[in-house]
């Protein structure tokens, strides 16, 4: 499905959307991947949730 078709199905005007950011640097992506996800019960970082 093309992004314009998806927007139309969701009732969103594509012109009203802000442009996507440029591709992140690998270092930024890697930093996010190393973060522990939050526990769904308490919200604190949790290694088992990963």
Q: If pLDDT is split at 50, 70 and 90, which confidence band does 38 have?
A: confident
For residues 1-27, give the mean pLDDT.
Answer: 84
Contact (CB, 8 A) for 40 and 50? no
The share of the chain scoring above pLDDT 90, in percent, equals 4
Q: Is the dihedral of CA 6, 12, 14, 19 positive or negative?
A: negative
Q: How far apart are CA 33 and CA 35, in angstroms?
A: 6
Give the pLDDT confidence score for residue 17 in this predicted structure.
Answer: 84
Give the pLDDT confidence score for residue 49 in this predicted structure.
Answer: 53
């Amino acid at each position: 499905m093309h992004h314009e078709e998806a927007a139309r199905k969701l009732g969103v005007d594509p012109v009203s959307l802000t442009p996507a950011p440029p591709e992140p640097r690998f270092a930024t992506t890697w930093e996010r991947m190393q973060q522990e996800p939050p526990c769904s019960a308490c919200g604190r970082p949790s290694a088992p949730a990963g």
